[in-house]
Structure 1
């Protein structure tokens, strides 16, 4: 499914989803296909589940967003692989 379809099925909710197909363009991540993992009334619950999944499967492209947003605005960050 795409973002518009997800928004129509789950209006005004927080969602945790995985990007099944995505590409980069001018420093932004554009998600073409989405797999819904879960929906939530509270954003903190979505973030908590995100953390649990990301800890065990860090290679999955997971996102948390609210379906009131008409477009996903995902800005890519470049990591230097240095943690302080």
Structure 2
């Protein structure tokens, strides 16, 4: 599904989803296909589930967003320095 479809099925909800198909464009991540993992009333609950999944599967491209947003705006961040 795409973001518009997800928004119509889960209005005014926090959602945790995985990007199934995505690409980069001018420092932004454009998500073409989405797989919903779960929906929430509270953003903190979505973030908590994100952390649990990310801890065990860090290579998955997961996002938390609120469906009131008409468009997803995901800015890519570059990590500088050394991770320990």
Specify the TM-score bucket, using the shorter chain as the normaliser.
Answer: over 0.9
Give the equivalent residue in structure 2 for 1:20. Answer: 20
Q: For 1:57 and 1:80, how far apart are their aligned partners in 2?
A: 22
Q: How does 1:1-84 map onto structure 2 within 5 Å?
A: 1-80=1-80, 82-83=82-83
| 1:2-59 Cα deviation digits (max 9, x unpaired) | 0000000000000000000000000000000000000000000000000000000000
TM-score of the superposed pair, with normalisation by structure 2: 0.96
Divergent runs of 4+, >2 A: none
Corresponding pairs, count: 84
CA RMSD of aligned residues (A): 1.1
TM-score of the superposed pair, with normalisation by structure 1: 0.96
